[in-house]
Amino acid sequence: MQLSEHRYNTVSSIAGPLLFVQGVMQARIGEVVRIQSPEGKVLDGEVLEINGDTVMLEVYGITQGLDIKGTSVVFTDSVKRAPLSRDMIGRVFNGAFKPIDGLPPLFPETWAPVTGYPINPSARARPVEFIETGVSVIDGLNTLVKGQKLPVFSCSGLPSKEVVAAILRNARIMGREASSQERDRIRQAGDFVVVFAALGLTFYEYAFYETVLREMRSGFVAFVNMADEPVMERLLTPRFALTAAEYLAFERGMDVLVIITDMTNYCDALREVSTAREELPGRRGYPGYMYSDLASLYERAGRIRQQKGSVTMLPVVTMPEDDITHPIPDLTGYITEGQIVLSRSLHQKGIFPPVDVLPSLSRLMQRGIGKGHTREDHRAVSNLLYKYYAKGRDLRRLEAIVGRDGMTDKDKQMLDFADSFEGEFVHQGGARRSVFETLDIGLDILKRFKLEE
Amino acid sequence: MTGRITGISGPTVSADAAGLKLYERVFVGHAMLTGEVVRIEKNRSVIQVYENTRGLAVSEPVEGTGTPLTVRLGPGILSGIFDGLQRPLQTLRDESGPFIKTAKALNPLDFSRQWAFHRLIKEGDTLHPGDIIGYVREGPFQHTILCPPHVQGKLSWVADKDIRLDSPVGALEDGTEIPGYHDWPVRVRRPFRKKRSPSERLVTGQRVIDFLFPIARGGTAIMPGGFGTGKTILDQSIAKFADVDIVVYVGCGERGNEIAELIEEFELLKDPWTNRTLMERTILCVNTSNMPVAAREASIYTAVSMAEYYRDMGLHVLMLADSISRWAEALREISSSLEELPGEEGYPTYLASRLSGFLERAGVVESGGGKAGSLSMILSVSPPGGDFTEPVTQSCLRTSGAFLMLDTALAHRRHFPAINWFQSFSLYGSELLEQEREMVPLEWEEARSRCKDILQKEEGLREVAEIVGVEGLQDPDRLLMHVAETIRLRFLSQNAYTEDAFSAPERTLSIIRGILDFYDEASKRLKEGIPLEELLTGKGLRGEGIER
């Protein structure tokens, strides 16, 4: 809806990604603007703040080459919207929702504002349906359910993309008591779709993901903002991706898995804009509103009562300095329903996926496992594995002090259990395991060490 | 008073409207967004807007209402699910679908519903604000209809059977009609005749709280914990099992899925004290993390006003807020958009005074109607990075009566509730568990200090055991370690997903008594020369199975 467009040549200052325009009448917060550089280059932007007739704009794109005299700004009188259609599936877009796969542009069936609307809490359905990721340590001990947001906390140098790839290749939605035939039918019907948002990825990383996406049997939509592409677009990319995901889920009834990688790049972009706006910095320079901003993304996961479709989210967060108390993983953990934490020491032992079970958690697991969801003994097996592994890990510290010879037989057994747990249960290489196989492996280890109660 | 928008920055709008009052409620823009005046300059008013300002344009109108931000109080609040501005979320869902797209004001009370009214006064009586006119039955409670503030005079008539809220319940001789509900400014505490010191216990059903760190009815407790320490589960357990009449649960800037879970569960689960569904005694006030930030700031005031209203009927009300840190962050966000000078970590310097002002709305009071009710508060705190030295935890500490510190290390060991027994404290006294004395003879104060002592000693012994191994310890020390472990695993931890999620006071006391009796007995036997191994397996004891 473009009621009226106004063009202004009254740019008063430019600071990094921000542009100030004077004498503007009736600007709106969030209004889309088009900025034309002296050379005729056109950039998109958005109104961030209005003070009288002075308007602060955020420019999506590179502001190099803009000046005060020759730059003009067009106010479009509409807020940022995303063009949506089922034909998005199978397509690759850039961070500004322009196709980059060489295929023709998309014909939208509808448009929706990119910031989305909050789901009315009383309209949410509680997430209970099990998603089989094929990864033992997730399915067995940190179960993912439809509508959940479960981030992967990684450290630089750890194979987070391989972990995500394993999930992408193997994830299956298992309805209540769904037989394997039924499950295949669900998949073939194309009701399961992956929305992939790449934020600040290097070409090397992206090429890896692209191969994985193309090999998948289910459909995907990709939104790609590369490491050398405009930082400001990084704030928009996940919003486009989530708007697309919500459309496919709640208008088209699909089960959507949203992968966003890497949220750390997103938060750094947020900090960049915040400092350019000369806002008071919070912890580590990140803005004080980062919690609310992250929540406006993560909280878009969910299910709706009496409606088909779901948005499940798997964001990847690389913890700066391997520090889980850093504001990015910290605030993420406060919003998401658990976390899958990768560990450097497991990775060094050659264990894949190198998931550290102790700090990992799935808050929604309890409702999605057991009879009618997975298997009756799931809860018991998972609790025992966790308990003994935690004990074994504790004992490793003792072993480092007194040496193995100084320990009781029971303690030695517990140490061996921890090794077997890591080597057989956590480690699975590239293989896919059904949840039943996962539970059987767990039971087998428990029985071997005669630890089961 | 009307004016026009001159500037917009995040949730803060400035307008050229003069003559507005501080904290007056205003409608902003064509979309009629609700806002509150937070600062007045000569020709400019600064307004905090409670809705998303996206799409708002300068020069759109701003209209004053002449009244401050209020909640509507009357029958029908109970079992309701409201947002931070008391908009009924279920009605909103039925009218405009699963997403919150509009800022439309909705009546929080159902005006078309019939209520059977029993009057307690008659024509000719003189009425003062706060006097009881009569009552209706709301679920299991007598919901008293009070004379609204600012209404005073001789009664000319009063309804005597069914009422609907859209018509008055009575009228004064001067013609003033008396509605069955009234609007109350959220930031003003409701008046009472007298405040009493909290002295009655509040059973939470959590052994570690009820036994080690008891909370009194009318008291306050804070519960800080990093993520994954089980704050929400504990909050919800308390909401389910606490022996109060009414629970007001505030989901303040937290997860939507958790609220969905809570609603579905509360519709099914029974209150252990009355055997009615939990929803019948619950009021939810929900502003999830993705809902507008400024409304999050208002939500705790909206909720506490509703809680006070029921307290005034002589009921015991418990308000749970998850989490007060999100409220403080909203306050910080608003403060920074007002360009106020920041205090510690960017929080405004009035954080502590606002918090203590809020916490003081808890208490045991005699209302104007002469009834004694209580309002207790349990607030969870989400300290960044799990660091308890941060300003919100520290400000809460100064005014709250109990400090229940949730410990990441305990949570990693899957010890829930992960309340650290060394650093938590409660200022409420020992008389709180006296009622069970007759059923379970136990000196509470003594048992409590013994229990703490055992745990303290275990901590010291554990360091030794790390080096020499458990086998290297003396037998009495090994016995103590065994007892401490029993206390930790069998007594202090409770699984929220089993029957043990709720522990009645007599059960709490008999478990700890069993453990302490075992310790006494085993210590005696040990001195008599019975080997430790036999004692630990229970063989060497005389009495039958003291330990559960």
Instruction: Map tokens 């089989």 to a residue.
Output: A132
Determine contact, residues A295/A232, Cβ cutoff 8 Å. no
User: Which residues are within 8 A (CB) of B494 and not within 5 positions of it... i.e. 6 or more apart?
Assistant: B206, B207, B208, B237, B416, B417, B500, B501, B503
Which helix (H) or strand (E) segment is B218 a member of? none
Q: Is the pLDDT of residue A175 over 70?
A: no
Q: How confident is the model over A275-314, as pLDDT tens digits?
A: 988 888 888 899 988 999 999 999 999 999 999 999 999 9
Residues A201 and A66 in one domain: no
Which residues from B are below 8 Å from A293, CB to CB?
none
What mean pLDDT do residues A326-344 have? 94
Interface check A134 vs B, CB under 8 A: no
Distance separating alpha carbons of residues B218 and B365, to the nearest angstrom = 8
Q: Which of B217, B263, B213 is nearest to B243 (CA)?
A: B217
Determine contact, residues B210/B503, Cβ cutoff 8 Å. yes
Distance separating alpha carbons of residues B281 and B269, to the nearest angstrom = 11
Question: Which 3-state string (H, E, C) describes B317-384?
Answer: EEEEEECHHHHHHHHHHHHHHCCCCECHHHCECCHHHHHHHHHCCCEEEECCCCCEEEEEEEEEECCH
Residue numbers of B between 470 and 509 with CB closer than 8 Å to A: 470-471, 497
> What is chain A's percent helix, strand, coil content, to nearest 5?
40, 25, 35
Positions of E strands within B187-312 = 194-196, 201-202, 215-216, 220-224, 246-252, 282-287
Q: Is the pLDDT of residue B219 over 70?
A: yes
Interface check A147 vs B, CB under 8 A: yes
pLDDT value of position A256: 95
* Contact call for B385 and A49, based on CB within 8 A: no
The domain total for chain A is: 3
* Contact call for A121 and B101, based on CB within 8 A: no
Instruction: Map tokens 């007060």 to a residue.
Output: B324
Interface check A22 vs B, CB under 8 A: no
- With 0-12 / 13-18 / 19 or more C-beta atoms within 10 angstroms meaning exposed / middle / buried, residue A397 is exposed
* Contact call for B54 and A113, based on CB within 8 A: yes
Residues A108 and A34 in one domain: no
Q: How confident is the model at residue B99 (pLDDT cuts 50, 70, 90)?
A: very high
pLDDT value of position B547: 44
Q: Where are the domains of chain B?
A: 2-68, 114-180, 194-428, 444-536
What mean pLDDT do residues A218-222 have? 90
What mean pLDDT do residues A338-343 have? 96
- With 0-12 / 13-18 / 19 or more C-beta atoms within 10 angstroms meaning exposed / middle / buried, residue A371 is exposed
Q: Is the pLDDT of residue B548 over 50?
A: no
* Contact call for B257 and A148, based on CB within 8 A: yes
Determine contact, residues A233/A61, Cβ cutoff 8 Å. yes
What mean pLDDT do residues B11-29 have? 90
Interface check B264 vs A, CB under 8 A: yes
* Contact call for B256 and A119, based on CB within 8 A: yes
**Closest CB from A120, A280, A401 relative to B93:** A120
Residues A164 and A270 in one domain: yes
- Sequence letter at residue A222: A
When mean pLDDT is compared over A75-84, B145-154, B437-446, the highest value belongs to A75-84
Interface check A309 vs B, CB under 8 A: no
**Side-chain half-sphere exposure of B64, counting CA atoms within 13 A:** 20
What mean pLDDT do residues B302-331 have? 94
pLDDT value of position A392: 92
Mean pLDDT taken over chain A: 90
Q: Is the pLDDT of residue B13 over 90?
A: yes
**Closest CB from B81, B256, B384 relative to A302:** B256
Q: How confident is the model at residue A162 (pLDDT cuts 50, 70, 90)?
A: very high
B162 backbone dihedrals φ, ψ, rounded to 5°: -65, 140
Q: Which of B406, B430, B426 is nearest to B416 (CA)?
A: B406
Task: Convert A335-354 to b/e letters by CB count within 10 Å (16 or more is b).
Answer: bbbbbbbbbeebbeeebbbb
CA B469 remoteness from chain centre: 45
pLDDT value of position B357: 94
Q: How confident is the model over B473-522, as pLDDT tens digits?
A: 889 999 999 999 999 999 999 998 888 999 988 888 889 999 999 999 99
Q: Under DSSP, is residue A11 helix (H, G, I), strand (E, B) or coil?
A: strand
Positions of E strands within A6-71 = 6-8, 11-15, 18-21, 31-36, 42-51, 54-60
| Best mutation target, A53, A75, A78, A120, to test chain B (most B CBs within 10 A) | A120
pLDDT value of position B160: 86
Residues A156 and A11 in one domain: no
Residues A175 and A314 in one domain: yes
* Contact call for B255 and A337, based on CB within 8 A: yes
Q: Hey, how many other C-beta atoms are within 10 angstroms of the C-beta on B59?
A: 13
Nearest CA in chain A to B341: A280
* B535 min Cα distance to partner chain A (Å): 20
pLDDT value of position B86: 94
| Best mutation target, A284, A334, A357, A393, to test chain B (most B CBs within 10 A) | A334
Q: Is the pLDDT of residue A176 over 70?
A: no
What mean pLDDT do residues B63-81 have? 93
Q: Is the pLDDT of residue A438 over 50?
A: yes
Residues A155 and A264 in one domain: yes
For residue A214, is it within any domain? yes
* B497 min Cα distance to partner chain A (Å): 8
Q: Hey, how many other C-beta atoms are within 10 angstroms of the C-beta on B213?
A: 23
Token digits for B221?
A: 């407790």
Q: Hey, how many other C-beta atoms are within 10 angstroms of the C-beta on B111?
A: 13
Q: How confident is the model over B511-541, as pLDDT tens digits?
A: 999 999 999 999 999 998 888 888 887 665 6
Distance separating alpha carbons of residues A16 and A45, to the nearest angstrom = 13
Residues A233 and A299 in one domain: yes
Distance separating alpha carbons of residues A272 and A279, to the nearest angstrom = 10
| Domain stops at, among A25, A45, A79 | A79
pLDDT value of position B7: 93
DSSP codes joined into one string, B499-547: GGG---HHHHHHHHHHHHHHHHHHHHHHHTT--HHHHHTTTT-SSS---
Nearest CA in chain B to A366: B497
Q: Which of B202, B219, B102 is nearest to B433 (CA)?
A: B202
Residue numbers of B between 403 and 432 with CB closer than 8 Å to A: 412-414
Q: Under DSSP, is residue A254 helix (H, G, I), strand (E, B) or coil?
A: coil
Which helix (H) or strand (E) segment is B15 a member of? strand B12-15
Positions of E strands within A114-169 = 124-125, 130-132, 144-145, 152-154
For residue A1, is it within any domain? no
What mean pLDDT do residues A49-68 have? 90
Q: For the domain B194-428, what is the CATH code? A: 3.40.50.300
Nearest CA in chain B to A284: B345
Residues A142 and A189 in one domain: yes
* Contact call for A334 and B382, based on CB within 8 A: yes
Beta bridge partners of A28: B57
For residue A179, is it within any domain? yes
Q: For the domain B114-180, what is the CATH code? A: 2.40.50.100
Distance separating alpha carbons of residues B271 and B243, to the nearest angstrom = 9
* Contact call for B289 and A299, based on CB within 8 A: yes
Token digits for B290?
A: 């993705």
Which residues from A are below 8 Å from B291, CB to CB?
118
Q: Which of A63, A54, A52 is nearest to A18 (CA)?
A: A63
CATH topology of domain B444-536: 1.10.1140
Q: Is the pLDDT of residue A53 over 80?
A: yes
| Domain stops at, among A26, A53, A79 | A79
| Best mutation target, B13, B16, B58, to test chain A (most A CBs within 10 A) | B58
Residue numbers of B between 200 and 229 with CB closer than 8 Å to A: 227-228
Q: Hey, how many other C-beta atoms are within 10 angstroms of the C-beta on A34?
A: 15
For residue A114, is it within any domain? yes
Q: Is the pLDDT of residue B546 over 60?
A: no
* Contact call for B93 and A123, based on CB within 8 A: yes
Q: Is the pLDDT of residue B206 over 50?
A: yes
Interface check A402 vs B, CB under 8 A: yes
Which residues from A are below 8 Å from B259, CB to CB?
121-122, 124
Residue numbers of B between 333 and 372 with CB closer than 8 Å to A: 333, 336, 342, 345-346
* A215 min Cα distance to partner chain B (Å): 32
Angstrom CA distances, A20 to A44, A51, B7, B281, B525, stand at: 14, 10, 14, 54, 84
Interface check A69 vs B, CB under 8 A: no
Which of these CATH numbers, 3.90.1150.10, 3.50.50.60, 2.40.30.20, 3.90.580.10, describes B2-68? 2.40.30.20
Token digits for A296?
A: 């406006």
| Best mutation target, A21, A29, A325, to test chain B (most B CBs within 10 A) | A29
Q: Hey, how many other C-beta atoms are within 10 angstroms of the C-beta on A67?
A: 10
What mean pLDDT do residues B158-177 have? 90
For residue A320, is it within any domain? yes
pLDDT value of position B511: 92
Which residues from B are below 8 Å from A118, CB to CB?
99-100, 256, 288, 290-291
- pLDDT: which is higher, A77 or B284: B284
Q: Is the pLDDT of residue A184 over 80?
A: no
Interface predicted TM-score of the whole assembly (ipTM), two decimals: 0.88
DSSP A2: -
* B291 min Cα distance to partner chain A (Å): 6
For residue A453, is it within any domain? no
Q: How confident is the model over B425-459, as pLDDT tens digits?
A: 999 875 655 666 666 666 778 888 899 999 999 99
In this structure, of A185-199, A376-390, B238-252, the range with the lowest mean pLDDT score is A185-199
Q: Is the pLDDT of residue B368 over 80?
A: no
CATH number for the domain that contains residue A100:
3.40.50.12240
| Best mutation target, B30, B102, B227, B335, to test chain A (most A CBs within 10 A) | B227
Which residues from A are below 8 Å from B330, CB to CB?
292
Nearest CA in chain B to A406: B469
Q: Under DSSP, is residue B388 helix (H, G, I), strand (E, B) or coil?
A: coil
pLDDT value of position A36: 93
Tell which phi-psi region holds residue A350, choosing left (phi > 0), alpha (psi between -120 and 50) or beta. Answer: left
User: Which residues are within 8 A (CB) of B40 and not within 5 positions of it... i.e. 6 or more apart?
Assistant: B20, B22, B46
Q: How confident is the model over A381-436, as pLDDT tens digits?
A: 999 999 999 989 988 988 888 888 888 888 899 999 999 999 999 999 989 999 99
* B162 min Cα distance to partner chain A (Å): 30
User: Which residues are within 8 A (CB) of A436 and not within 5 positions of it... i.e. 6 or more apart?
Assistant: A375
Distance separating alpha carbons of residues A312 and B291, to the nearest angstrom = 19
Nearest CA in chain B to A81: B55
Cis peptide preceding A262, ω within 30 of 0: yes
For residue A439, is it within any domain? yes
Angstrom CA distances, B242 to A232, A393, B234, stand at: 49, 37, 11
Strand B81-82, strand B153-158: pairing: unpaired
Residues A67 and A201 in one domain: no
Residues A90 and A159 in one domain: yes
Interface check A51 vs B, CB under 8 A: yes
Q: Which domain holds residue A208?
A: 82-368
**Closest CB from A338, A359, A366 relative to B412:** A359
pLDDT value of position A3: 52
How many cross-chain Cβ pairs, A to B, lie less than 8 Å apart? 193
> Starting from the edge strand earliest in sequence, which strands make up the sheet with B177-178, in order?
B126-127, B153-158, B170-172, B177-178
Distance separating alpha carbons of residues B42 and A384, to the nearest angstrom = 68
* A214 min Cα distance to partner chain B (Å): 32
Q: How confident is the model over A5-41, as pLDDT tens digits?
A: 788 999 999 988 899 999 998 899 999 999 999 998 9
pLDDT value of position B414: 86
> What is chain B's percent helix, strand, coil content, to nearest 5?
35, 25, 40
* Contact call for A289 and B10, based on CB within 8 A: yes
